[in-house]
Structures are given as C-alpha cells and as structure tokens.
C-alpha cells in the first residue's frame, strides 16, 4: 500500500516533443496543435510523463541553444515524423547521436523515411477521429513506458537508437573549465533564471477566469492543479495540468480518462456544512 502511494505521488517525467510547430498548408491551420493537444498530451499523462514543446517555453530568449539543451537533457523525447519536417529531422539527428531514448510517431499519410525505416514508430490517423485517437493514445503511452524502462534498465537496443544498431560509440558533451569569476556570474544568472521560472510556473498553476452568476454580477473563480471539478456534462474529476488556458482533467471513472476541458465548462463542487439545531 505504501509503495502504491509513493508511485501515485511521483513527479511526472519530462518528455520533450519534437514536431512541426508552424502550420503546413497540406494539413490545415492548427493541425499539429490538435495532434499535440488530443494525442500527445493525453498519452504522456497516461504514461506518467510531462509533455513540453519548444513553444511552451515562457523564456524571452528562446533560441536554438535552448532547444538543443532540451533535446539533450530531456528524460524522454517524442518525435513526430509527419510531413518530414526538416527542423524535426535535424533535432532527431542530434538526439540519436547521444543514444538517448526516443519514441517515433507519424501519421498514416506520411511515407516511411528510408534512413530510419528500421526504427519502430507509432502510427496515428491524421484525421484524429474520435474512434481511432483512443487507440493511438494507448499505443503511444505503451511505447513511452517500454522505451523509458528499457533505457533505465540499460537495454539500449530497445530505445530506438541507430547508434545501438550500428554498435558505435555515442557522442559526448565535453566539459570546458571556466574561471572562478565566470562561474560566480553563471551561478547568479542560474539563480535568477530559477526565480523567474518559479514565478512563471506559479502563474501557470493558478488560472483565473470570469463567469456571470444568476444576478449578472461578475464572479471570479480560481482553478489550481489538484482541484476537484465537475464538467458541464456532470462528470467529476481532478485537474492534472493546464494547457493553453484549458484544464487537463483526470475523470473519475474506471478507465481514468484524460480530457482537455475549457475552463468556462468547469465548476467546483459546493460543500455545505451541516448545522446542529
């Protein structure tokens, strides 16, 4: 029982997502945002991972160096090969060079890429039909779990690595010695950056929106991670995370369904205390 509680309280593992960010004419506006929102995030949540993309970063100095650091430092990476985006291929090559765990996905209208055709991938329906996306979520969740466990257990042949298949040595990051003065400056910058991130994360954890009550007066409602809520259709659940002004809710049912719900469709349960007379 104690181990089960520890497992339940475990912090989500960081998973960086490499995928097309800008719209691609062949797919229509917002297509890959929908893939991220309705396929990738629910699969990550189900497997115990915290998904993030390059455009999720709030830092004002988002440059290629920041993306490279996330590619190298992430515990897990999902790479969407759909549309054969050149930036995604470049990022995948960097991740592969260091023999780090990666799960490949692609839609059903993108042909396989010859150079990496020997690596496993999870294929999904590009239309994201409701009767097929659930199967894709399960498949991606299982792939994340098995690939991460293989990496932790030292089974490098099962982490989708070309380096392992070729039997060559992975790339290494060489440390460069710096002066004490430079080290102090970098430590100060790091502390400042951590404080800024803490402030930004606190803002992310609490989202405010306005609704009208029966008297047409403005009422402010605060939502935070961990809040118990009810959806407009009467389902109960718990807020797991926030994404683009919407709540990622774990529904209280036998399947632990993950749903993304607009905040204005959520209500907090009202608890009334009984009074003895």
CATH of the domain at 143: 3.40.50.360
Domain ranges, residue 38? 10-166
218 and 143 inside one domain: no
pLDDT score for 44: 97
Q: Is residue 174 part of a domain?
A: no
Report the alpha-carbon distance of residue 136 to residue 2 in Å, rounded: 32
128 and 210 in one domain? no
Answer yes or no: pTM beyond 0.75.
no
Note whether residue 214 is domain-resident. Answer: yes
Are 213 and 162 within one domain? Answer: no
- Is 157 in contact with 167 (CB distance < 8 Å)? no
Instruction: Identify the CATH number of the domain in which residue 231 sits.
Output: 2.30.30.30
Q: Looking at residue 192, what is its pLDDT?
A: 74
Q: Are residues 152 and 35 in the same domain?
A: yes
Residue 197 lies in a domain: no
**40 and 112, same structural domain?**
yes
Residue 247's alpha-carbon distances to 16, 36, 45, 105, 212, in angstroms, are 20, 14, 13, 25, 20
Q: Torsion angle, CA of 239/240/241/244, rounded to 10 degrees?
A: -50
Distance, in Å, from the CA atom of 247 to the CA atom of 239, rounded to the nearest integer, reads: 6
In this structure, is residue 191 part of a structural domain?
no
Q: Are residues 153 and 259 in the same domain?
A: no
Does 272 reside within a domain?
no
Q: State which of 137, 166, 195 marks the end of a domain.
A: 166
What pLDDT does 215 receive? 46
Tokens of 246: 């919407």
Q: How many folded domains does the chain comprise?
A: 2
Q: Which of 166, 181, 216 is the last residue of a domain?
A: 166
* Element spanning 142, H or E: helix 130-152
Statement to judge: residues 95 and 33 lie in one domain: yes
Tell me, what's the pLDDT at 91? 93
Are both 43 and 161 inside the same structural domain?
Answer: yes
Helix or strand holding residue 17 (H, E): strand 13-18
In-domain check, residue 276 = no
Whether the CB-CB separation of 236 and 230 falls below 8 Å is answered with yes
The residue from 112, 136, 166 where one domain ends is 166
Instruction: Tell whether 127 and 235 lie within a shared domain.
Output: no
The strand pair at 218-224 and 228-231 is best described as unpaired
Nearest-angstrom CA–CA distance, 180 and 31:
49
List the chain pLDDT tens, one digit each, 277 residues. Answer: 344 434 445 678 999 999 999 899 889 899 999 999 999 999 999 999 999 998 875 554 446 777 888 999 999 999 999 999 999 999 999 999 998 999 999 999 999 988 888 889 999 999 999 999 999 999 999 999 999 999 999 887 777 777 766 667 777 766 666 677 777 776 777 777 667 666 666 655 555 554 444 444 556 677 888 889 999 888 899 998 888 778 889 898 877 788 888 888 888 876 554 455 4
User: What pLDDT score was predicted for residue 224?
Assistant: 83
19 and 103 assigned to the same domain: yes
Burial class of residue 80, CB neighbours in 10 A (0-12, 13-18, 19+):
buried
The verdict on 112 and 222 lying in the same domain is no
């Amino acid at each position: 029982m104690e181990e089960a509680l520890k497992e339940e309280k475990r912090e989500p593992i960081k998973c960086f997502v490499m995928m097309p960010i800008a719209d691609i004419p062949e797919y229509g506006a917002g297509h890959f945002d929908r893939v991220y929102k309705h396929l990738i995030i629910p699969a990550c949540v189900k497997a115990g991972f915290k998904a993030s993309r390059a455009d999720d970063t709030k830092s004002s100095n988002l440059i290629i160096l920041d993306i490279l650091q996330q590619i190298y430092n992430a515990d897990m990476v999902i790479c969407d090969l759909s549309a054969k985006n050149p930036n995604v291929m470049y990022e995948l090559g960097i991740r592969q060079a260091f023999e780090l765990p990666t799960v490949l996905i692609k839609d059903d209208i993108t042909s396989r890429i010859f150079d990496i055709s020997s690596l496993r991938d999870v294929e999904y329906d590009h239309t994201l039909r409701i009767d097929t996306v659930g199967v894709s979520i399960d498949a991606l969740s299982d792939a994340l779990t098995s690939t991460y466990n293989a990496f932790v257990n030292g089974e490098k042949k099962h982490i989708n690595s070309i380096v392992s298949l070729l039997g060559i040595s992975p790339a290494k990051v060489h440390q460069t010695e710096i002066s004490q003065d430079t080290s102090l400056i970098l430590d100060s910058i790091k502390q400042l950056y951590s404080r800024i991130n803490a402030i930004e994360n606190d803002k992310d954890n609490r989202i405010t929106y306005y609704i009208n009550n029966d008297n047409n007066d403005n009422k402010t409602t605060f939502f935070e991670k961990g809040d118990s809520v009810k959806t407009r259709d009467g389902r109960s659940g718990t807020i797991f995370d926030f994404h683009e002004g919407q709540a990622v809710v774990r529904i209280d049912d036998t399947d632990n369904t993950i749903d993304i719900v607009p905040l204005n469709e959520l209500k907090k349960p009202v608890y009334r205390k009984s009074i003895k007379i």
